[in-house]
Amino acid sequence: MPRLLVCWAWALVAALCCGTSDAFQQPVRRATALRMVASKEASSASSSPPAQTPPLSRSSTEELMKPAEPSRESAVLEAAYVQCEKITSVFAKTFYLGTKLMSEKQRRAVWAIYVWCRRTDDLVDGPRAMMNSNVMRADLAAWEARLYQIWEGKPQDSLDLALLDTKHLYPTLPIEPFCDMIQGMVMDTPDLGQDRYETWDDLYLYCYRVASTVGLMTLPVLGTAEGFTEEDAKGPAIALGIALQITNILRDVGEDAVRGRIYLPKEDLDKFGVSETQILNGVIDENYKNLVKFEIQRARDYYKEAERGVAMLAPSSRLSVQAAADMYGKILEKLEENDYDNFRKRAYVSKPEKFLSLPQSWMKVNAMN
């Protein structure tokens, strides 16, 4: 399974708009391309484009420390959000269309968050990191330090500035899930990461870092209903990320085996009498089917916990979240229909099937009102 940001928050909106929650299934990892997009936007008013996103001067940074109404935003901040929009539209087309359902304030915020996640992913997959694990470790440490600088009001370039402004607009935006995502990226990389998980607790940590973190990042943007706090909604938000990532793992067992990766916990394999060799060779027997059934139920338990939190969200955010959970959950049904064969068959939910699930999601949400 390619490392996914599997950020359910991106899928939440895209699912409702375009009938898909696969915005990150085939991520294009080109750090240089991202810099080119940013540079192109930044150079629109200049005849000689810069090689990368230009750093901000001290005066520009101080001037833009406080958020302003759209009509009063400086040209620098406006250009920063334009860059974020462009990058999002290039690298996550479906998700980008989905953000059009949000208010201007919300969509600009999620563009800024998406771009930070994109840059983190590109940093891990860049040529410098691939050539030397020590270089990757140093780059990631510098990237995390830069993140803290953003939170301290010291952006290094215009893309950082957009995230800083988002932080000002949504003061409860926490830094912890951003840091946790960096650690999640490391877990899937050669040399520094791992390709086996001994226990469910080990895998849970991975799922949290690569999936649940984005739910926590975007929770302040999605908002909560009257009578609920973000703290109330955090548990279900984390649960949905776990559910989505387990679903991805189950769907992609065969693909991961080809890459020599096994995400299913060794303690579960031992419990059901399934060997690593059996998975690497794609052998399906009753033991293996029972293992997959067990993991499917685990995922559904987390979906159930996540659904409890939908009513805690602001009414305008509920349908997209419920729809994403329902649509993604159908992958598990497809896996069952395929007689638990995730080596030779793809558990695929078509766009028409996703659209047909929307009325059910709408009725669930309507019952919350």
In angstroms, how far is the first alpha carbon of the chain from the final one?
39
| Residue ranges in the chain modelled with pLDDT below 50 | 1-52, 54, 56-72
pLDDT of amino acid 217: 96
- As a whole number of angstroms, the distance between CA 53 and CA 186 comes to 25
Tokens at 117, concatenated: 């996640």
- Secondary structure class of 49 (helix, strand, coil): coil
Q: Which residues of 208-237 are buried (b: 16+ CB within 10 A; e: fewer)?
A: bbbbbbbbbbbbbbbbbbeeeebeebbebb
Length of the chain: 369
Tokens at 205, concatenated: 């940590």
CA 270-271-275 angle, 5° bins: 30
CB 290 within 8 A of CB 340: no
pLDDT of amino acid 130: 66
Show Cβ contacts of residue 283 under 8 Å, excluding neighbours closer than 6 positions: none
pLDDT of amino acid 225: 96
pLDDT of amino acid 37: 39
Q: Count other C-beta atoms under 10 Å from residue 43's C-beta.
A: 15
Q: How many CA atoms lie within 13 A of 213 on its CB side?
A: 25
pTM: 0.79
Q: What values do phi and psi take at 26, rounded to 5?
A: -125, 70
